[in-house]
Amino acid sequence: MSNDDDELEDLLDELDSQGDLDASQQMLSIRTESRRYDKPVTIIEGFDLEASEIETLASELKQSLGTGGTVDDGRIELQGDHRSRVPELLQERGYEVRE
The predicted pLDDT at position 98 comes to 80
Kindly state the percentage of the chain with pLDDT values over 90: 55
Average pLDDT of the chain to the nearest whole number: 85
pLDDT score of 19 more than 60: no
The predicted pLDDT at position 3 comes to 56
pLDDT score of 55 more than 50: yes
pLDDT score of 53 more than 70: yes
Sketch out the chain's domains with CATH numbers.
38-98 (3.30.780.10)
The predicted pLDDT at position 21 comes to 45
When pLDDT is averaged across residues 16-26 and rounded to a whole number, the result is: 59
**60-71 confidence digits (pLDDT tens):** 999 999 999 999
Which strands make up the sheet holding 75-79, listed edge to edge?
Answer: 69-72, 75-79, 40-45, 27-34, 96-98
Between the alpha carbon of residue 52 and those of residues 11, 16, 45, 55, 74, the distances in Å are: 23, 17, 15, 5, 10
This prediction's pTM:
0.74
What are the helix (H) ranges across the chain?
A: 2-25, 51-65, 86-92
